[in-house]
C-alpha cells in the first residue's frame, strides 16, 4: 500500500505507541491523519465507530486503541480489560468492513500466547494453550480480534492484518504506578527512592521471570512497514528477539538511575508468565523489519525522558 496521499485513521493515536506511529506515518506524506480522541469518540459504541468511518472515509485504519496495564492493573480490572478491548476491536473491524476500507492494521498482544509457550514464541504456537491467568482476559480479547480479521478476510476479502508486539518501552510511556508496565514502573520507583534518600526499593515477585522489550519507535516503524508491505492472514510478531530476567533488568535500571540502596523482593506478588521471547523472522521475511535500537541505549533514553518530565507526571 502506497501511503502517500492516503486518508488514515489511527485509533489511540494520541497515546504512547500511537503518537510514535503518527510521527512515522507523517514521513510518508499522507493527505490526512485523523486521531479520534476518547472523550469525543467512544469506540466501544458501534454507532460511534460507524459515524467515525462515515465522516472520515479513510483508506487505511490502524487500530491501536486499547486498555492496557501491568500485572496489577490486569488483576484488578479483568472484566474491563476484556470488554473494552473486545468491544473497540469488534466494532472498528465491522465498520471498516461495511465502509470497504482499503486496509486495516490491528495490534494484538503477546499476552495472547499460551502461558508455557516454548521460547522463542512462534506465531503457530498461538492456539496451543491458555494464556497466563493474570492477563488472560486481555489476551483472549485481542486473540478474538485475530479470528475476526481472518474470518472477514475469508468471507469478505477484507485486507485486515494483525500484529503481535512484545512489551514496549520508551519516551512518553505510562509512568503511573497503578497502571504502568514493568520498565516505567521500575524507573519511577528508583528515581523517587533515589531522590528521597531511601535505603531500599521493593520490587514485585522473585525476579526469575524473563521478558523481551521493544523500543516504541522500532515498533512504530514495524507497524507502518506492515501497512505498506504485508497483506496476509497470519499474525506477525514484533519484537527485539532478546530476553532479560526481571532481576537483571531491575539491577540495570538501579545502576542507570543512580540508586544506591538495596532491592527487596516481594515474593507474595506474582511473576506473571515465566518467559517471553519472540521469534521475529516472519516480520523480516514479509516486510523487511527488525528492531534496531539497542536495549541499553533505549533504556537510557527512557530514563532521561522521565527525569526531564517527572514533575509533570501524576
Domains and CATH numbers, the chain: 7-169+214-241+277-292 (3.40.50.720)
Specify the pLDDT at position 73: 84
Residue 61, strand partner residues: 9, 104
Rg of the chain, C-alpha, whole Å = 19
Is 156 catalytic? The answer is: no
Give the C-alpha distances (Å, rounded to integers) separating 81 from 41, 47, 112, 275.
18, 21, 13, 22
What was the pLDDT predicted at 93? 98
Per-residue pLDDT of 129-153, as tens digits, reads 999 998 999 999 999 999 999 999 9
Q: Taking residues 236-257, report their average pLDDT.
A: 97
Q: For residue 270, what pLDDT band results from cuts at 50, 70 and 90?
A: confident
**Nearest residue to 152 via CA among 87, 96, 107, 227:** 96
**Would you place residue 194 in the very low, low, confident or very high pLDDT band (cuts 50, 70, 90)?**
very high
Question: Residue 262 has what DSSP assignment?
Answer: E
> Could you give the CA distance from residue 63 to residue 165 in angstroms, rounded to a whole number?
13
DSSP secondary structure letter of residue 170: S
- Of 83, 130, 138, 306, the catalytic one is 138
- Residue 140 has what pLDDT? 97
Q: Give the per-residue pLDDT at 272.
A: 86
Cis omega (within 30 of 0) on the bond before 197? no
95-115 per-position pLDDT tens digit:
999 999 999 999 999 999 999
Amino acid at each position: 500500500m502506497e501511503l502517500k496521499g492516503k486518508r488514515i485513521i489511527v485509533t489511540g493515536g494520541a497515546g504512547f505507541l500511537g503518537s510514535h506511529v503518527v510521527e512515522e506515518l507523517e514521513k510518508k506524506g499522507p493527505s490526512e491523519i485523523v486521531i479520534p480522541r476518547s472523550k469525543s469518540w467512544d469506540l466501544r459504541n458501534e454507532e460511534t465507530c460507524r459515524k467515525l468511518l462515515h465522516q472520515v472515509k479513510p483508506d487505511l485504519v490502524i487500530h491501536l486503541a486499547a486498555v492496557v496495564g501491568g500485572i496489577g492493573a490486569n488483576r484488578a480490572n479483568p472484566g474491563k480489560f476484556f470488554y473494552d478491548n473486545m468491544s473497540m476491536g469488534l466494532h472498528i473491524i465491522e465498520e471498516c468492513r461495511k465502509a470497504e476500507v482499503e486496509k486495516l492494521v490491528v495490534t494484538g498482544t503477546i499476552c495472547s500466547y499460551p502461558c508455557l509457550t516454548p521460547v522463542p514464541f512462534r506465531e503457530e504456537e498461538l492456539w496451543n494453550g491458555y494464556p497466563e491467568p493474570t492477563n488472560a482476559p486481555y489476551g483472549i480479547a485481542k486473540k478474538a480480534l485475530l479470528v475476526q480479521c481472518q474470518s472477514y478476510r475469508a468471507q469478505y476479502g477484507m485486507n485486515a492484518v494483525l500484529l503481535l508486539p512484545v512489551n514496549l518501552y520508551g519516551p512518553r510511556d505510562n509512568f503511573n504506578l497503578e497502571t504502568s508496565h514493568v520498565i516505567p514502573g521500575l524507573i519511577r520507583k528508583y528515581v523517587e527512592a533515589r531522590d528521597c534518600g531511601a535505603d531500599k526499593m521493593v520490587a514485585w515477585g522473585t525476579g526469575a521471570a524473563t521478558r523481551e522489550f521493544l523500543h516504541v519507535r522500532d515498533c512504530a516503524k514495524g507497524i507502518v512497514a506492515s501497512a505498506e508491505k504485508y497483506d496476509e492472514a497470519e499474525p506477525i510478531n514484533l519484537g527485539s528477539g532478546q530476553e532479560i530476567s526481571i532481576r537483571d533488568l531491575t539491577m540495570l535500571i538501579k545502576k542507570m538511575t543512580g540508586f544506591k540502596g538495596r532491592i527487596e523482593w516481594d515474593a507474595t506478588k506474582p511473576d506473571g508468565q515465566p518467559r517471553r521471547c519472540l521469534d521475529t523472522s516472519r516480520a523480516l521475511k514479509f516486510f523487511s523489519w527488525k528492531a534496531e535500537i539497542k536495549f541499553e541505549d533505549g533504556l537510557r533514553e527512557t530514563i532521561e525522558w522521565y527525569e526531564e518530565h517527572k514533575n509533570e507526571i501524576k
